[in-house]
Amino acid sequence: MKLKYTFFFAESALYSYFVNLLKPFETNHYQFYTDMKKNFYRLLSFAVLATIIISCGGETNPLIKEAKDGIKAKNYDAALASLDQALVEDSSNANAYYYKGVVYSEMAQNNPQVQNRKDSYSKMRENLLVAMNMFEVQNVKSVEAIESQLLIDRMWGTEHNMGVAYAVGDTTVPQVNAPLEVAVSHFENAVIINPDSIISIDVLAEVHRMSGDYASAAVAMEKVIEKKSQPDAIDYDRLASYYLQVGDYSKAENVLIEGTEVYPDSVSLVQKLADTYTNQNKNDEAIQVLRKLIDTDPSNPLYHLVLSTQIYNIADEINQEISQNYDSLITLNRDARRLSGARKTAAENTIKSLFEETQNLENEADVLIAQAIEELKISLQYDPQNQNAYYTLGVVNQNKAASLFEKRNATEDNNLAAEINEQANEYLREAMTNYEKAVEIDPDNQNYWRSLFQVYTTLGMMDKAEAAMEKAGM
């Protein structure tokens, strides 16, 4: 990319919204972690109760008693053998299923390899659910009947709680080299224990994102949306973001279409849909979806800013092709000077053809740039103090100047090159005016000063360039 200043939307309110979109999840889940500690201590009372159940005597079924002794001794194979035998003798023995659940919960908790607990937790849940169903059918009101659901809740709470601790860098948990991997394993365990826990699946998606595994984040986020009766706009936004990160524009498009149907006023969803269309060379659709957003609130300055950015990004793609063409023209012109006769004629025809192609691309880009500038001016009419709009105007004009400088360099006619150079400087002066307005509103923004430094330097305004360089922290 040969542009003097690459356009980033990082300074816009919309992009800031996108960047900060997931941060509340980290904060909220840290709060959840704190709340979970309180709930966890409540659950501990039931854990003590479970220990008492296992420890106390009076068990009439000798096989169940053997199993409880095996659990206390951590002889889990023996405990399971006794419980399986109890079920052979009486397949409706709910206590046998309950204690099998206890055995598997103990096996999981005593497995130091967090990622290897899944099978034990799966069997724990399976047996406890069978036990709970039997207790209900048999109308049993025993302590085991009460403890069955509480054991599931307690194991889920423990795994989720530990996952959050590792995800947020809690120093009270054992420190490991790859805390996010450990967090993922804890959350995966939590989801196995309680597959309906939207919050565990939700945070699992976030931790996958934090670790850069966007494909797994998308899988988890799909489950969140599937399980929610009414997904939030942020849910569609996150899932689409994950798909965009892995380059699956088709899936991102489908998610965003669904999301914008439910939340037609969501700026972030609409812009992502427009970006997705652009990435698939569906430029007309990209602009159309943003114009529909403007139709809902024509005086919203942010909507016009977003549309202008989208239009300009399309123009910027064309400008990149133009830049490559001018590089080729410089090389072709240089080589043509050393040729003669038919070879020189052929080279000149190639140059002419490429120049005409480039002119057509310039005309196409200029139309789009004019539209982008118009939308930016409309945005400023509704919000005259919007430094993002001024800054974007500066970027558009500076990049247009850069494109003209490349055209100048590829022009053989010195007089024409001088005219093009002056046109470029006019765009630079316009960029300077808009950057200066941006820094008037936000004088501490180093990006603005850095852009001003570039413009001042190119225009030969060295005193101002030096001052801008200092304020840019360069």
Instruction: Please tell me the predicted confidence (pLDDT) of residue 16.
Output: 37
Better-scored residue on pLDDT, 11 or 370: 370
Entry field: residues in the chain: 474
For residue range 393-426, what is the model confidence (pLDDT) as tens digits?
Answer: 999 999 999 999 999 998 888 999 999 999 999 9
Given 169, 195, 221, the domain boundary residue is 195
What percent of the chain has pLDDT above 90? Answer: 75
pLDDT for position 59? 64
135-156 pLDDT, tens digit each: 999 999 999 999 999 999 999 9
Considering 57-71, 103-117, 318-332, the range whose residues carry the highest mean pLDDT is 103-117
Secondary structure (3-state) at 383: coil
Q: Is residue 7 part of a domain?
A: no
Domain boundary among 139, 168, 195: 195
The predicted model scores a pTM of 0.70
Instruction: Determine, yes or no, domain membership for 349.
Output: yes
DSSP secondary structure, 162-208, as one string: HHHHHHTT-TTSPP-S-HHHHHHHHHHHHHHH-TT-HHHHHHHHHHH
Nearest Cα residue to 13 out of 297, 305, 300: 305
203 or 56, greater pLDDT: 203
Q: What is the DSSP string of 348-375?
A: HHHHHHHHHHHHHHHHHHHHHHHHHHHH
**Does 274 reside within a domain?**
no
Band (pLDDT 50/70/90 cuts) for residue 310 is: confident
Q: What confidence tier does 23 reach under pLDDT thresholds 50, 70, 90?
A: very low
* Mean pLDDT over each residue of the chain, to the nearest integer: 87
* Domain limit, last residue, from 153, 175, 195: 195
Q: What is the mean pLDDT of residues 206-225?
A: 96
Q: pLDDT band for position 89 (50/70/90)?
A: very high
Q: What is the pLDDT of residue 283?
A: 86
Contacts of 219 (CB under 8 A, 6+ apart): none
Sequence-separated (6 or more) residues with CB below 8 Å from residue 358: 322, 325, 326, 329
pLDDT of residue 197: 94
Looking at residues 288-293, what average pLDDT do you find? 89
Query: Is 371 a residue whose pLDDT tops 70?
Result: yes
Q: Are residues 311 and 433 in the same domain?
A: yes
For 424, the domain range is 297-471
Per-residue pLDDT at 51: 52
Quick check: 435 and 452 in contact, CB under 8 A? yes
> Is residue 356 one of the residues assigned to a domain?
yes
Q: How high is the pLDDT of residue 271? A: 87
Which residues, 6 or more positions from 272, have their beta carbon under 8 angstroms from its beta carbon?
237, 240, 241, 244, 252, 256
Separation of alpha carbons 389 and 379, rounded Å: 7
Residue 265's pLDDT is 86
CA 105, CA 111: separation in Å to the nearest integer? 10
Per-residue confidence (pLDDT) for residue 54, from 0 to 100: 53
Q: Indicate if 301 and 430 belong to the same structural domain.
A: yes
CATH number at residue 465: 1.25.40
For residues 151 and 166, give the distance between their C-alpha atoms in angstroms, rounded to a whole number.
23
